[in-house]
């Protein structure tokens, strides 16, 4: 069976979007994974297809209705569906490569791409949603975050990346490829790449490097 992604959104026309191109798009076309976008508005109960309401206790903005979202989630998550249900939220647990590997090794994901000021807290508890964040910033909606999460997972699926070389051995504006990369010594190449990755992490992400140095 393919790795299954289901995205709950009020803008289903946005999918697969960029995921329909390049490696992810080829994998989608070949059936390695599937992407279904479900319109949350289809589960509204009024003629205006309303999906939002004022937050309990007042306050600015609107939140997405728990009853509408619950019906949309229930429609795609049957009792035997073991896929994790993820709510894309800036307050969620930071999404990282380890999480991408974990998700890609499973049957797929159900993603809730929220809009407005958020989701009714009762829904998160009732439907056991896991909140996931792709960064410490706020987006207009969860759809761009869904692209990021899905791309990170899909590229790890068997048969997606392949073993294609990603460069050439020609100089570029006088900058040659490091000699070690063309030496044919795979152990040395691997060690060099690891060393370079560590150097760049130290320079550009000292926060991650500091965490890595802490004893477990």
The pLDDT of residue 56: 58
Q: What is the pLDDT of residues 179-209, one digit of tens each?
A: 888 888 899 999 998 999 899 888 988 988 8
Quickly state the pLDDT bin for 159 (edges 50, 70, 90).
Answer: very high
Quickly state the pLDDT bin for 165 (edges 50, 70, 90).
Answer: very low
Q: What does the mean pLDDT of the chain come to? A: 88
Residue among 166, 92, 183, 164 nearest 129 (CA): 92
CA 155 to chain centre: 11
Q: DSSP assignment of 157-205, as one string?
A: STTTSTT-----SS-BTTBPPPGGGGS--HHHHHHHHHHHHHHHHHHH-
The pLDDT of residue 177: 79
The pLDDT of residue 97: 94
User: Residue 69, Cβ neighbours under 10 Å: how many?
Assistant: 25
SS3 state of residue 73: helix
B/e letters for 198-216, b = 16+ CB within 10 Å, e = fewer, are eeeeeeeeeeeeeeeeeee
CA 63 to chain centre: 22
In contact, 5 and 33? CB cutoff 8 Å: yes
The pLDDT of residue 135: 93
**Residue 111 or 61, more confident:** 111
Residue with tokens 């560590």: 198
The pLDDT of residue 168: 43
**Residue 41 or 61, more confident:** 41
In contact, 64 and 115? CB cutoff 8 Å: yes
Locate the domains of the chain by residue range: 3-154, 179-213
Domain formed by 3-154, architecture: 3-Layer(aba) Sandwich (3.40)
The pLDDT of residue 43: 96
The pLDDT of residue 74: 96
The pLDDT of residue 164: 44
Q: What is the pLDDT of residues 74-131, one digit of tens each?
A: 999 988 899 999 999 988 999 999 999 999 999 999 999 988 777 888 899 999 999 9
């Amino acid at each position: 069976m393919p790795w299954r992604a289901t995205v709950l959104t009020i803008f289903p026309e946005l999918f697969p979007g960029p995921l329909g191109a390049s490696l992810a798009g080829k994998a989608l076309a070949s059936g390695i994974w599937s992407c279904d976008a479900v319109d949350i508005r289809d589960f509204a109960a009024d003629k205006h297809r309303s999906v939002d309401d004022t937050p309990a206790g007042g306050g600015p903005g609107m939140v997405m209705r728990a009853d509408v979202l619950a019906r949309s989630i229930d429609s795609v998550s049957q009792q035997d569906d073991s896929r994790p249900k993820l709510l894309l939220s800036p307050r969620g647990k930071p999404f990282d490569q380890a999480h991408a590997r974990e998700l890609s090794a499973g049957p797929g994901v159900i993603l809730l791409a929220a809009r407005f000021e958020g989701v009714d807290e009762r829904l998160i508890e009732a439907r056991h949603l896991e909140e996931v964040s792709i960064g410490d910033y706020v987006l207009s909606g969860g759809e761009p975050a869904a692209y990021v999460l899905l791309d990170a997972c899909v590229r790890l699926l068997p048969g997606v990346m392949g073993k294609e070389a990603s460069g050439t051995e020609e100089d570029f504006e006088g900058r040659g490829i490091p000699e070690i990369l063309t030496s044919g010594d795979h152990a040395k190449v691997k060690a060099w790449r690891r060393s370079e990755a560590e150097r760049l992490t130290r320079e550009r992400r000292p926060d991650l490097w500091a965490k890595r140095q802490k004893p477990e």
